[in-house]
A and B are shown apart, each in its own frame.
Chain A
Amino acid sequence: MHLGGGCLHEFAHGCDVLGGGGGGPATESLPLAANAIALNGPVPVVTLAELPPDGLVMPCSLRGNPAVCVERIGTGRESIPIRHHVERHFGKPVVAMLCTQIGGYNGPAAVALAAHAGLPLLDGDAVGRSFPGFDQVAMRLAGIPPTPTVFADEHDRVVAVHLGNRDGLEPLARTIIGGFGGRAVSSGYMMTVEQAAAAVVPDSVRKALRIGEILAEPVATADAIRRLADEFGGVAIIEGRVAAVLRPTGVASDQHTRAMVQGTGRDSGRTVRLEMGHHYLAAFDGDRTLAAVPDIIALVDAYTGLPVCAGELRYGLRVCAVALPCPPVWRTPEGLDLAGPEAFGLQACYRRLDVR
């Protein structure tokens, strides 16, 4: 399978659904992926079985302040010096790139970074959705060491971090990205193909593409959402209007934004409450938890058929909300510890989606 220019819109919209309202808009990195493919040709999407077992898999993503990233759009070639550094360090070739998180901006961005580096893209990712933390990746749960983590800017400046057995990547990463002026492409949790088999979330690229294809079908958004829920074992939460968005006042970072979605059509009479931070964290019907992180909660605009980021949610939007199950790795006790409701300051306990 190849990712070519023809299916990129669908892929990006699927990435935005898997972003669960976070990860930055995939539609912003979409033109970068299209340009990279126009220059370098379609990107092969491969499975682990197609790769040599001792070859290296290199996760890659863009990190930084969104206000900087919209000005410094980079070259897409930042992956090349990172690849060279990684190959020198490990003394063997990188055989595939792994999208660090399929959800949001970094989905199509990984396509651009892979195309410029001349690498195939592994059909999978490290999260299966989007999470804000460097360490909220499946490889951590599989015991893959985070370092060396390599950072590069668009001027081929490279910084590598080696932590040995110690923790503390996040503050160092922030300092390095700050030193680069607020933007870096980073790569960590490098592994062999053999290790990757038990350490990555499989099939993410095809899944994003399939989600985008379903959304592109010329049917009412509510129908497309039900189809999405059916195909991926999720739940259509509600179809309705956003009746209130209550953003926390002040600078208290532990407070969440709340939104109320009032049902319309066949959901008339129901109201669903959403809790959100960088992405949608939980959906409640009265006291009942309908869905909670790490499961993926996505909202789709009923008029445009396109996913709505948590930061863009506002009064009056007509939306269809859907919850899709997260990859199984996040439902383990260790997974819930790292990225469950409590990791995002929610009181609610995690419970599996109630699929009827």
Chain B
Amino acid sequence: MIVGNPFATAEVGSRAPADRRCRLGFTVDVDRFAAALVDADGTVLASVEDVAPSASSSVVLPRALAGIMAQAGPRGVALDHVDQVMMAINEVDGRAGIREVDPDWSCWPGQLSPIGVVRLGAATTALPPLAGWPERLRSDVSVRAACVAGGAGVDGADFEPLDTAGLAAFARTVAGKVDAVVVSGVFAPVMPSDELAAAGLLRAELGDSVPILLSHEAGGAGLLPRENATVLQAVLLGKATGALRRLRRSMAQNGLAHAELFLARGDGSIMTADYGLTRSVQLHGAAKAVGAQGAAMLAGESNALVLFTTPDGEPTAVCAVAAGQARLASGPTDIAGVPTSVRSVAVVPTVPPVGGFPRTAADRIAEAVDRVKDVSGDLPLLVVGPGAGKLVDALPGAPAGTTLVCCPPRANAAVAVGAATALVTGSATRVLAADSRHGGDIRGKVVDQALAAAVHAGADPDRVEVIMVDEAMVARGAGPDLLLRVSAGGPPRTAWQYGRRRSPH
């Protein structure tokens, strides 16, 4: 596996105009907010962290901007210099008001979008769409869920011929009753053609006003977790649209009309708001992921452990950073009681197990530090969040398994710094026969797909690069196969005015 940061050598400064172009990182977590202004070189120009007057980002933004500009203004930075705003949140389900997660939330009509789900794969009824979901959530959102013939096999050949009549019949039963439709196909990430064809048919029946979400765009192996992730995204579409509209309006009202909005993802990267609108579950864990990376950047470490705190200086959880990137959990991510294909940061809470030791805060931290690692070896422990200073002062020394414990500069705003400095990434996966004669061509195509995916998510097309290539042997039956995974990434694209100035044609 090749892991590297493509931007270490990129000539960031040479292409910037005389004035300072900046990014604003911004996060709201229940009753606290943090913001940070970072220039193109990654220098933090200003940061704030404080009690939030509301949990709504659009209400908190002016307050954050006032704090930021009070520091940055005297240094010659104006709001005009802010090209992008990067927003990070932590949990999707709690925020979305899904009752399974927050029983006190009163779920009013229109909160969660009513949806229809059609699965391409008639012979997959061992568990129909939504069948494993918490009963109440399903009855809140599901208008109709069905399986029709379609999908692909592991080699991309037809699993079943696409049932166009069945799709049309499905469309007629949901027409006028749903806010969105999800299409999930067997092996759609290998061969998405049936999902694309189904989307065309559904659009012809339902018109252009009903969004159609396809599971291969959500991605991930496993029909059920991929389908679940896509359905949750459809369910949250109305909510996400409203939240983003309010945030954009707030940006416009506060002098940031020209800036492009990006959203942090649970894997520690960012995506444009437009791209993220239909991928809202990827926000899950984002604040922890970019917070860990931000802490590492602020401390000048590329490999570290990052401990999050409450304002009282209580530890909450530990994440790991390797080569500047937040380490991801190995398994699927449960959201609202549903397993999804979302890959998100590995988070180890500093909570003791049932009936067990360890007891003191220092014990709990030492144990969480060990549990979050994937190999032995001491690493620096960076403490961030509103109570970072307090916690470091209270600790007797560096916990076991760490080289040192420290509170990096601007530790309270690490999440905002991490959001402002994250990369836009994309990836592509493909299984091919180990002895394929077209191996070279296929590898080239997968690389192209990963680059395109990163640009689609909002990476600067001029500066996107391959950041990771991984090939692993997998057994698939007849012969050995290769699982090829490529990730690409780059800095966020800049808003159109700036782009115009750069390229006069």
Contacts and interface: CB of A to CB of B under 8 A. Distances in A.
B355 A73 contact: no
Contacts of B353: 220-221, 302-303, 318
B132 interface: yes
B301 interface: no
A24 B29 CA distance: 38
Contacts of B474: 67
- Looking at B356, B373, B431, which has the most chain A CB atoms within 10 Å of its CB? B356
A35 B373 contact: no
A77 B124 CA distance: 10
A205 interface: no
A315 interface: yes
A77 B186 CA distance: 18
Contacts of B224: 31, 70, 73
A40 interface: no
Nearest to B374: A315
B8 interface: no
A355 interface: no
Contact of B356 (A32, A178, A302): A302
Nearest to B358: A264
A174 B479 CA distance: 11
Contacts of A181: 153-155, 159
Contact of A174 (B127, B367, B477): B477
B131 A31 contact: yes
B376 A71 contact: no
Contacts of B478: 178
Given A73-B223, A177-B477, A315 B127 contact: no
A316 interface: yes
Interface string A46-77: 00000000000000000001011011111111
Contacts of B125: 75-77
B126 A220 contact: no
Contact of A220 (B132, B153, B354): B354
Contacts of A35: 126-128, 131-132
B227 to A, nearest CB: 10
B407 interface: no
B170 interface: no
Nearest to A109: B126
A314 B328 CA distance: 14
B259 to A, nearest CB: 41
A66 B489 CA distance: 30
Contacts of A72: 121, 123-124, 153, 159, 186-187, 223
A164 interface: no
A68 B123 CA distance: 14
Interface in A192-246: 218-223, 241, 243-244
A111 B376 CA distance: 41
A60 to B, nearest CB: 14
Contacts of B160: 155
Nearest to B352: A303
A167 interface: no
A38 B128 CA distance: 12
A68 B476 contact: yes
A182 interface: yes
A339 interface: no
Contacts of B221: 67, 70-71
B154 A182 contact: yes
Nearest to B226: A71
Nearest to B479: A178
Interface in B47-84: none
Contacts of A219: 354-355
A287 interface: no
B477 A155 contact: no
Interface string B370-404: 11111110000000000000000000000000000
Given A220-B356, A314-B330, A74 B374 contact: no
B100 to A, nearest CB: 16
Contacts of A112: 126
B374 A314 contact: yes
Interface in A122-158: 154-155
A75 B330 contact: no
Given A35-B131, A182-B477, A265-B357, A315 B373 contact: yes
B1 interface: no
A305 B124 contact: no
Interface in B322-360: 330-331, 353-357
A312 interface: yes
A336 interface: no
Contact of A65 (B127, B223, B477): B477
B409 interface: no
A72 B160 CA distance: 12
Contact of A154 (B123, B127, B473): B123
Nearest 8 A/B pairs, CB to CB: A220-B355, A154-B123, A31-B132, A178-B477, A76-B126, A70-B222, A316-B371, A303-B353
26 contacts: A31-B224, A65-B154, A65-B476, A68-B476, A71-B187, A71-B222, A72-B124, A73-B124, A154-B123, A154-B124, A174-B477, A177-B477, A181-B154, A182-B154, A182-B477, A218-B354, A219-B354, A219-B355, A223-B355, A241-B370, A243-B376, A251-B480, A265-B357, A302-B353, A315-B373, A316-B370
Interface of B: 121, 123-128, 131-132, 153-155, 159-160, 186-187, 221-224, 330-331, 353-357, 367, 370-376, 431, 473-478, 480
